[in-house]
Every structure is written in C-alpha cells, then in structure tokens.
Amino acid sequence: MKTIYTAGGILNKGFVGQISYTVCLDKEYHEMDIAFTFDKQHYTDITEELKAELTAACEGEYETEIATEEQINSAIAGMKTEIHTIATMNDNFIGGIHKQLTERHMHYSTEYTSEGCLPQESLHGVIRLTLVVFNVILDDTHYEVTLSVNEEERGGLHV
C-alpha cells in the first residue's frame, strides 16, 4: 500500500464538532485503507483538581450532588474522548466506524471490507473523511488520518 495523504492535528478539552478531509484520487484503485489514530482517550490520573471540577459541575450545572468518593472516581474513570469516523466517495456513504478504538482502519478491497464499511467495486473520485468529535476530555489530544491505496488487483496489508 502506498500512502497518498496524511493529516493530523491537536484537539483541546471540550471541543465538539466535525473535521473533514477531502482527497481527490488521481486514478482508479482496487484497494484503500483509511487509518485514524488519536491519543488521550481516558484520564490516566484522577487528581483532586479533577474531582473538584466534576463536583462543581454537578452542583452548578446539574443541581445535584455526588454523594461518595467512589461515585466521583467511577464517574471520572468512565469519561472518554469520543470520535467517530465517516467516509464518503463521490458524496455517497461508504462506511463509518463508531467503535471506541484509538486506532482504527476503514479498509476496502475487492476481497475484504472492514466492519461498518460497504464493499466497493472500484475506488475513484473524491474521498471525504469526516471526524465526528463528540467529546474531548484532555487538552493536547493528538490525532492523525492516513489514506493509503493499492492499484494491484489482489493482495494488500489487511487481506
């Protein structure tokens, strides 16, 4: 597979929105892999500052109290950065991955297609990858998108 496009960025805590990348394929391909990775999915440390922030949010925004230290720790441990990926080809949906993985592939070939993706006879035209960001829990969350293709009829890294 040959990488033809790579992009990335940094998301900050609280970001919610969509980020789209558009790639015009220069010719028809028989295999394509769209890779997406990000870091900082969960908190690594439960700090006193984080506990105070959660408690204040519950009391202020939601007018409720967290009764125990165990509830606070459980709530923080359950928080995560959530980013979904959606791919289109020539404005037609060809796949989406909603699994909460920090590394995922949307793979298309004549022999294999990733779960959540629709088989394609050929890959050509305009590919658009949209990152749907529902929640970012930590500042400086890095992400990267890579699009790789193979013009060979058979084979590939993921087959």
Residues 79-135 have pLDDT tens digits of 898 999 999 999 999 999 988 888 999 999 988 999 999 999 899 999 999 999 999
Residues 125-150 have pLDDT tens digits of 999 999 999 999 888 999 999 999 99
Burial 136-146 (b: 16+ CB within 10 A, else e): bbbeebebebb
Residues 9-56 have pLDDT tens digits of 999 999 999 999 999 999 999 999 999 999 988 888 888 988 888 888
CATH architecture entry for 2-42+80-150: Sandwich (2.60)
More confident residue, 59 or 7: 7
- Which residue ranges make up each domain of the chain? 2-42+80-150, 48-78
Strand order in the sheet with 126-135: 17-24, 126-135, 82-89, 92-97
Tell me which long-range contacts 91-94 makes (C-beta under 8 A, separation of at least 24).
Answer: 91/126, 91/128, 93/118, 94/118, 94/120
Q: Is pLDDT of 66 > 80?
A: no
**Could you tell me the pTM of the whole model?**
0.83
